[in-house]
Chain A
Amino acid sequence: MTTGHAGSTPDPSADVTRAEYCVIACAEIFSGAGETMASPMATTPLIGARLARLTTEPDLLITDGEALIFADTPAVGKSGPIEGWMPFRKVFDVVASGRRHVVMGANQIDRYGNQNLSAFGPLQHPTRQMFGSRGAPGNTINHPTSYWVAKHSARVFGGVVDVVSGVGYDKIDADNPAFKYLNIPRVVTNLGVFDFEGPDHTMRAVSLHPGVDAAEVAENTGFEVAGLADAGVTRAPNAEELRLIREVIDPKGLREKEVKPVSTSRTAR
């Protein structure tokens, strides 16, 4: 890693917050994405997508969340020069084309990657109503879909989701090639980075953020997480990434509101 500010910041990772590790993990969701539309649906993955665009993935398309495609990479909540038009009806064309990687939130995710943001309880008589299925069925069946969970808990990562909005790996009909694009590359949470490369496409720990141990993840997950004992540590941002996060993309520190500050020292627990 090159560190343009090495002189002024001898140890750039010393005071890195949990939220900043989450941003790095979200940026890496887009590693190798190339010329594709990055559609982050919350603050932390939005910062991550813009960080990726300003570092290793300059060809990503990003929008203002309404209908405009940004030419530049503005700070969170800011506008800037545009390069194109992306009204909702055209978003559905992009979804069907597969040239998109969305990062959605989730009220529930199960061990096979089934996700719920619709409602809790029976389909026609729910106990709690949320958004309905939104674009989750179309996203998951068409193009890479990752998830961001700001508060990793056994309520979110429980047993079986009440409503399957986002399709998981155990729903794939192997005889039907219409399922061939289902791909859930990552789940990033305040505790770590996960994928679905465990046995039978179950959720697997890729890395835990500094200060998080396997026991904390296990306590907060309602099913067994594959590879938990062997998971590495989420990498630290380099000085340039920290500068971009803190000074360019999120100078107001909105990331710290989404992910509560915690000690990043491994000895703290």
Chain B
Amino acid sequence: MATDKTSSLDDIIGEISSGMTIGIGGWGSRRKPMALVRALARSSVTDLTIVTYGGPDLGLLCAAGKVSKAYYGFVSLDSPPFYDPWFAKARTTGAITVREMDEGMVKCGLEAAAARLPFLPIRAGLGSDVPNFWDGELRTVTSPYPDDDGRHQTLIAMPALQLDAAFVHLDLADRHGNAAYTGIDPYFDDLYCAAATRRYLETDRLVTTEELVEKVPVQRLLLNRLNVDRVVHTPNGAHFTFAGEYGRDEAFQQFYAESAKTPEAWQAFSDRFLTVPEDVYQTEVDKWNAEREDAQ
């Protein structure tokens, strides 16, 4: 029998140390491993480098002062007010160094790391300010093969985005690290895992291997055992982003963004939803939604 990798959020965060580079799966405000992000925000680790298609994951970590450097293609909440307020604050105060890039360059850099290559060539980035965001860390490479007209193409040499750890959220998984998405898009979660030394998977539903393979077509089995070190069962863990079996909590996301506007509002938000364990968070979110419905 293969290894049982089920763990607690604390087990996982215990393996994270300050200064690490962490890749966070999902996309914008879509299927983000928010339970792991919340646990990281509560922890004592600092000085993290984050690699992400950014959403409220990056925002919450900026709010908690955990981020010193960020590699991203974009940062978006995907619905109004669109711009994440905590990421915006970290940027406009100069609190973080960024290696902003084209969205396609994130995929390219993860693929390079997954294949243990130092770089992959890509057209995206040429002529734009992306190289200027990288302060000399981003170089070009010239093709050894000429085009038909005898000239040689010079392309961006996208460096491998090697990760110390990857956090991803999949809709269902077994105890060994086999996992599937049930929504419309796998995003890039398999690449994050392939690019990382340690791979941490949270899942809404922990099922037997038999149930997993019965539930979904094989093409949805995005991760196998080679891709995952620990599995944590986190029902509704992607909240307030959406996952395969629940939508985005738009009202709560707006409340998050509103709460960032004043120190008092953020303190209240933080006391109720961030400094608490995951099960308390989920209970408080249910209460918050019930209060909101009562008020209407």
- Which residue, B54, B123, B132, has most C-beta atoms of chain A within 10 A? B123
Tell me if B73 and A132 are in contact (CB < 8 A): yes
Chain B residue nearest to A128 in the complex (CB):
B92
Q: For window 140-190 of chain B, which residues contact chain A by CB distance below 8 Å?
A: 147, 149, 151-155, 184-188
Contacts A66-B184, A92-B104 hold; do A137 and B130 have CB atoms under 8 A apart?
yes
Digit string of B70-100 for contact with A (CB within 8 Å is 1, else 0)?
0011111000001100011001101001101
Tell me if B124 and A141 are in contact (CB < 8 A): yes
A96 to B107, CA, bound (A): 12
Q: In the assembled complex, how far is the CB of residue B211 from the closest CB belonging to chain A, in whole angstroms?
A: 25
Q: In the assembled complex, how far is the CB of residue B67 from the closest CB belonging to chain A, in whole angstroms?
A: 14
Query: Which of A119, A125, A135, A172 lies in contact with B102, CB distance below 8 A?
Result: A135
A146 to B147, CA, bound (A): 27
Chain A residue nearest to B88 in the complex (CB):
A129
Query: Which of A127, A130, A137, A177 lies in contact with B128, CB distance below 8 A?
Result: A137
Q: Is B133 an interface residue (CB 8 A)?
A: yes
Tell me if B75 and A131 are in contact (CB < 8 A): yes
Contacts A96-B104, A119-B91, A125-B92 hold; do A173 and B127 have CB atoms under 8 A apart?
yes
A166 to B147, CA, bound (A): 25
Residues of A within 8 A of B104 (CB): 92, 95-96, 135, 138
Chain B residue nearest to A170 in the complex (CB):
B127
Q: Is A70 an interface residue (CB 8 A)?
A: no
A67 to B183, CA, bound (A): 10
Tell me if A142 and B154 are in contact (CB < 8 A): no
Tell me if B128 and A132 are in contact (CB < 8 A): no
Tell me if B128 and A166 are in contact (CB < 8 A): yes
A87 to B186, CA, bound (A): 7
Contacts A119-B91, A124-B94, A133-B101 hold; do A141 and B127 have CB atoms under 8 A apart?
yes
Q: For window 103-145 of chain B, which residues contact chain A by CB distance below 8 Å?
A: 103-105, 107, 122-130, 132-133
Residues of B within 8 A of A88 (CB): 27, 103, 185, 187-188
| Number of interchain pairs (Cβ within 8 Å) | 148
Chain B residue nearest to A129 in the complex (CB):
B88
Give how many A residues have a beta carbon under 8 Å from the other chain's beta carbons.
Answer: 47
Tell me if A129 and B151 are in contact (CB < 8 A): no
Q: In the assembled complex, how far is the CB of residue A86 from the closest CB belonging to chain B, in whole angstroms?
A: 9
Tell me if A177 and B107 are in contact (CB < 8 A): no
Interface size for chain B: under 10, 10 to 19, 20 to 34, or 35 or more residues?
Answer: 35 or more
Contacts A67-B184, A131-B76, A131-B82 hold; do A178 and B103 have CB atoms under 8 A apart?
no
A179 to B101, CA, bound (A): 18
Contacts A130-B83, A132-B75, A179-B126 hold; do A66 and B154 have CB atoms under 8 A apart?
no
Residues of B within 8 A of A163 (CB): 129
Q: For window 77-136 of chain A, which residues contact chain B by CB distance below 8 Å?
A: 87-89, 92, 95-96, 118-119, 121, 123-136
Tell me if B105 and A123 are in contact (CB < 8 A): no
A181 to B147, CA, bound (A): 14
Q: Is A153 an interface residue (CB 8 A)?
A: no
Contacts A87-B184, A176-B153 hold; do A142 and B103 have CB atoms under 8 A apart?
no
Tell me if A92 and B107 are in contact (CB < 8 A): yes
Chain B residue nearest to A132 in the complex (CB):
B74
Tell me if A182 and B127 are in contact (CB < 8 A): yes
Residues of B within 8 A of A166 (CB): 128
Chain B residue nearest to A120 in the complex (CB):
B92
Residues of A within 8 A of B133 (CB): 123-124
Q: In the assembled complex, how far is the CB of residue B51 from the closest CB belonging to chain A, in whole angstroms?
A: 13
Residues of A within 8 A of B72 (CB): 132
Tell me if A129 and B73 are in contact (CB < 8 A): no
Chain A residue nearest to B106 in the complex (CB):
A92
A239 to B281, CA, bound (A): 56
The 5 tightest CB contacts between A and B, nearest first, are: A138-B124, A171-B127, A129-B88, A167-B127, A137-B128
Interchain Cβ contacts under 8 Å between A and B, 13 examples: A87-B186, A89-B188, A92-B104, A124-B97, A133-B73, A134-B103, A138-B122, A165-B128, A165-B129, A167-B127, A171-B128, A177-B149, A178-B123
B residues sitting closer than 8 Å to A (CB atoms) are 27, 54, 72-76, 82-83, 87-88, 91-92, 94, 97-98, 100-105, 107, 122-130, 132-133, 147, 149, 151-155, 184-188
A residues sitting closer than 8 Å to B (CB atoms) are 66-68, 87-89, 92, 95-96, 118-119, 121, 123-138, 140-142, 163-168, 171-173, 175-179, 181-182
11 extra interface residue pairs, beta carbon distance < 8 Å, beyond A92-B104, A164-B129: A123-B98, A124-B97, A129-B83, A133-B103, A138-B104, A140-B127, A140-B128, A164-B127, A171-B127, A175-B151, A178-B153
